[in-house]
């Protein structure tokens, strides 16, 4: 176990975590570092290895190589000692369809050897209330709507006091109303100081709630850091609209701008450290007729797509 993989300052840490299925790498040497108290968005298209990673973190699957730790405890060895402090939702809710919501939570609660039976009713009642399912507590799970099922799964994750909550695609299949509810719950959980690790294939979903993001692509962690750090990776571009593209290109070359692209009446380049005002002055000085000048930073969405590839890229 390497030093950083067991650091108590990190809620989740992994080092070279790898999972191979039948010769194919599902997760390829990823080094996760989720600080305590963070809301960490684990992003990536479907099939990029997010769920497999989460299964390894939770001790459901064993890594082919590499190490992982939760709250400073190595996994999967520490399963029984650390998982009672971790709530999780993995690949959608799963309950016994023939039991009521209450009985379903009682089932998971009874399986927890560290929970006392005396306070079980209070625990279950509070967890249901928290996700707004008190009225449906006695209803059979098979009659729950998709949103209710999802909320019941979150309630199960909140049965005990947690230090870390891992949510795998918590809004999958939910309508906008349900999505908003889940987002509000995530905010609420985070406000209590609980570390939240939430996976999604939609950037928009985590952008509003996350402090940190990790981006997966074909089993590799291609970016990890805070949201401002992710924004900074996007290079701003300057665009000049002019009739004299060739002359403008000469000025750009002189100023050392890279990655220039010419259009019929416009020219763009990576801005880098250059001052847009200076570029404008230089253009005018060189006698280039400037019709318009703009500087644009890529949106998070564009950065995300840049990292993960377009939706229909066949990576495998």
CB of 40 to other proteins, least distance (A): 18
Q: Which stretch binds other proteins (CB under 8 A): 32-40, 98-106, 232-240, 302-310?
A: 98-106
CB of 112 to other proteins, least distance (A): 5
Contact status, residue 298 vs residue 234, Cβ threshold 8 Å: yes
The phi and psi torsions of 167 (rounded to 5 degrees) equal -120, 115
- Kindly tell me which residue out of 22, 23, 24, 118 binds other proteins, with binding defined by CB under 8 A: 118
- Is 79 one of the binding residues for other proteins (CB under 8 A)? yes
Greatest Cα pair distance in the chain? 84
- Kindly tell me which residue out of 9, 98, 142, 173 binds other proteins, with binding defined by CB under 8 A: 98
- Kindly tell me which residue out of 14, 88, 195, 224 binds other proteins, with binding defined by CB under 8 A: 88
Which value, in Å, is the radius of gyration of the alpha carbons in the chain? Answer: 25
Token pair, residue 151, equals 């909320």
Going from the C-alpha of 103 to that of each of 118, 126, 135, 153, the distances in angstroms are 16, 14, 14, 13
Residues 18-57 that bind other proteins (CB under 8 A): 55
What DSSP element (H or E) covers 283?
helix 276-285
Cα 109 to Cα 157: distance, rounded to the nearest angstrom: 10
Cα 153 to Cα 226: distance, rounded to the nearest angstrom: 28
- Is 160 one of the binding residues for other proteins (CB under 8 A)? yes
- Is 59 one of the binding residues for other proteins (CB under 8 A)? yes
- Is 198 one of the binding residues for other proteins (CB under 8 A)? no
- Is 307 one of the binding residues for other proteins (CB under 8 A)? no
- Is 299 one of the binding residues for other proteins (CB under 8 A)? no
- Is 65 one of the binding residues for other proteins (CB under 8 A)? no
- Is 119 one of the binding residues for other proteins (CB under 8 A)? yes
- Kindly tell me which residue out of 2, 126, 134, 226 binds other proteins, with binding defined by CB under 8 A: 126
Going from the C-alpha of 29 to that of each of 17, 130, 242, the distances in angstroms are 5, 38, 48
* DSSP class per residue in 263-277: -SSEEEEE-TT--HH
- Kindly tell me which residue out of 115, 245, 274, 300 binds other proteins, with binding defined by CB under 8 A: 115
- Is 288 one of the binding residues for other proteins (CB under 8 A)? no
**Residue 212 burial (C-beta neighbours within 10 Å; 0-12, 13-18, 19+):** buried
- Is 80 one of the binding residues for other proteins (CB under 8 A)? yes
Residues that bind other proteins (CB under 8 A): 55, 58-62, 79-80, 83-84, 86, 88, 90-92, 94-99, 106-108, 110-119, 122-123, 126-127, 130, 156, 158, 160-161, 188, 192
């Amino acid at each position: 176990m390497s030093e950083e993989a067991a650091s108590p300052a990190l809620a989740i840490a992994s080092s070279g975590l790898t999972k191979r299925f039948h010769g194919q790498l599902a997760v390829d040497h990823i080094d996760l570092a989720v600080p305590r108290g963070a809301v960490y968005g684990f992003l990536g298209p479907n099939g990029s290895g997010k769920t497999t990673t989460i299964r390894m973190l939770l001790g459901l699957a064993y890594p082919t190589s590499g190490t992982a730790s939760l709250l400073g405890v190595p996994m999967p060895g520490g399963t029984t000692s650390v998982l009672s402090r971790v709530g999780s939702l993995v690949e959608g809710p799963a309950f016994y369809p023939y039991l009521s919501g209450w009985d379903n939570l009682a089932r998971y609660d009874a399986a927890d050897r560290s929970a006392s039976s005396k306070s079980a009713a209070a625990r279950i009642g509070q967890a249901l209330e928290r996700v707004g399912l008190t009225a449906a507590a006695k209803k059979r799970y098979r009659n729950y709507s998709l949103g209710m099922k999802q909320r019941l799964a979150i309630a199960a994750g909140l049965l005990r006091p947690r230090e870390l909550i891992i949510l795998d695609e918590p809004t999958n299949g939910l309508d906008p109303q349900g999505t908003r509810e889940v987002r509000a719950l995530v905010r609420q959980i985070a406000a209590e100081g609980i570390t939240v690790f939430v996976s999604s294939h939609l950037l928009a979903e985590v952008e509003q709630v996350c402090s940190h993001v990790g981006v997966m692509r074909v089993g590799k962690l291609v970016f990890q850091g805070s949201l401002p750090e992710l924004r900074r990776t996007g290079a701003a571009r300057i665009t000049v609209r002019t009739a004299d593209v060739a002359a403008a290109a000469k000025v750009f070359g002189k100023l050392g701008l890279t990655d220039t692209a010419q259009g019929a009446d416009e020219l763009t380049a990576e801005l880098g450290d250059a001052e847009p005002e200076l570029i404008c002055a230089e253009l005018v000085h060189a006698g280039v007729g400037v019709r318009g000048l703009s500087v644009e930073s890529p949106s998070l969405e564009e950065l995300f797509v840049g990292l993960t590839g377009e939706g229909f890229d066949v990576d495998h």
